[in-house]
Amino acid sequence: MAGADWWRGAVLYQVYPRSFADSNGDGIGDLPGIERHLDHIAALGVDAIWICPFYASPGRDFGYDVSDHLAVDPQFGTLEDFDRLLAAAHARGLKLLVDLVGGHTSDQHPWFRRSRTGHAAPEADWYVWADPSPDGTPPNNWLSVFGGSAWTWEPRRRQYYLHHFLSTQPSLNLHNPAALDALLAVGEFWLKRGVDGFRLDAVDFLAHDPALRPNPARPFSGPTPAKLFGLQTHQHDMLQPGIDHVLARIRALTDRYPGTTTLGEVSSQDGAFDRVRRYSSGDRHLHMAYTLRPLRGGFDHAIASALLAEADGRAEGEGWPCWSFSNHDVERAVTRWNPAGRDASPDPRFARLLVALLLSMRGSLCLYQGEELGLPEAELTLEQIRDPFGLTYWPEFRGRDGSRTPMPWQAEAPEAGFTTGTPWLPVPAPHRGLAVDRQNDDATSLLALWRQALTFRRSHPALVRGGQQRLDLPAPLLGLVRDYAGQRIVALFNLSDTPQRCALNAEAGLGPDFGGTVDNGYAELPAYGALFATLETAEVTIRKSEKV
């Protein structure tokens, strides 16, 4: 897409670099590995790549604990490797976004090393420090997402420091102008190198209550959950008004580099969709935002219908959402939402339905590596788990490694072509049959469908930039109308394993074959089928569905 607002309706491809492609045989994916496979990404028909952190890091949280924002970690390559990757992506017409981890750093970062020594260092107040309670316990009851108190005692400074995640990830104090300026300088470093924007990690945690008031308890019934974070209403440790100032400063920075964009990650806390709209509205917020809320729960007619309702809106007046069904932090969608249950083999027809549903939604889209292959969640043993989140909560929560296993490039090659060495996570046997080389030349494969679907979406402005209206349909049907500059497209989805038939005042179907057809005023939808069609009239009329 051309123009300064290329991001509006764009499709992003998320790369988790540790697991994408290894070029040197050490078992860890790297920047040269990404460059070698750019043609695969470009052939999908996406507009941009978002690369998860590759910065210098001790790796306690696999790159999200940054120790030097301006350096590439040696396991991923060098700054020169990054520059070559960026140039190669641009040569293929692909934009490139990088992660800006602004809420915290590693405890090995020079900023924190100096801050923890006492009150005299210039960075003394760049992090959130607080005196102990009179009895020596933490300043308040705030909890870490990863478990336990959100406070760790620092004996050298005689204070506690805040960490929303691991204790090795101290939280930056972005209320401090100097700390915020330092973060913006990091962003400018990468913008000057030519990146096309940032994905902003954990936006809801970028500001805290300076008074450090305790969080109220959240009403809860039933047995005590494994993750105690859910027992509080997170009124003071996150979701603070100060976030707006931080976002305004970041937006002002990117506005100085025309054509760059920002994508914010919004938590799954209550009001998530409202925050997506707020954080992406006007010229003092981000360009786009997405929320983890749809990725945390199940999938049925009521849930999917509510999701489409959240996407309803006009093209450019109510913020700009970005939608994804999978990412590096959650279970893969074909497993998480499997109608037959997460322990059953995913139904290929359901995977194709998810393609149709995602490409139909108002906003921009993000496709996670391996999603185009229909990869299911990997089943790993405790001994194979590397994620500290999973190690803490096993077996109630198995962590995030099941969605982070290596990308399968060649079905018959050692380690599926990901590496010539021993991969940092194992290659699941079920993934080999879904490898890129198996699907690449198969016109009936899910990979082929993604390519067709994204080409179809790009060629229809109503799907890229249009408004959206959800249709009120009985289960198991879902429907919506996308419209832009006189083009009106209706999309229908059958969420059941039983064929459905309904009256529809639309012309013949459009786009890739999702199974649905229109004939003589009726839409026929097979099990997990979908249909796109051009409306004949200004209003869509769909009479009650019937089983075929």
Under 8 Å between Cβ of 153 and 170? no
Alpha-carbon gap, residue 114 to 108, rounded angstroms: 10
Q: What is the 3-state secondary structure (H, E, C) of 113-137?
A: HHHCCCCCCCCCCCECEECCCCCCC
Instruction: At 263, give phi and psi (nearest 5°).
Output: -130, 120
Alpha-carbon gap, residue 410 to 408, rounded angstroms: 6
Catalytic (active site) residue 265: yes
- Would you state the structure tokens that stand for residue 351, as one six-digit string? 């995977």
Which member of 99, 265, 331, 483 is catalytic?
A: 265
Neighbours of 109 (CB within 10 A): 25
Q: Find residue 490's DSSP bridge partners.
A: 481, 533
DSSP labels, 93-107: T-EEEEEE--SB--T
Strand order in the sheet with 95-100: 288-291, 261-266, 197-200, 95-100, 48-51, 11-15, 364-368, 322-323
Alpha-carbon gap, residue 208 to 503, rounded angstroms: 53
Find all residues with CB under 8 Å of 11, minimum gap 6, and list them.
45, 46, 47, 48, 364, 365, 366, 367, 454, 457
DSSP E strand stretches across 30-106:
48-51, 55-56, 68-72, 95-100
Alpha-carbon gap, residue 463 to 364, rounded angstroms: 10
Which member of 65, 107, 201, 329 is catalytic?
A: 201
Catalytic (active site) residue 415: no
- Would you state the structure tokens that stand for residue 296, as one six-digit string? 């945390």
Alpha-carbon gap, residue 93 to 49, rounded angstroms: 11
DSSP 318: S
Alpha-carbon gap, residue 224 to 46, rounded angstroms: 44
The catalytic residues are 201, 265
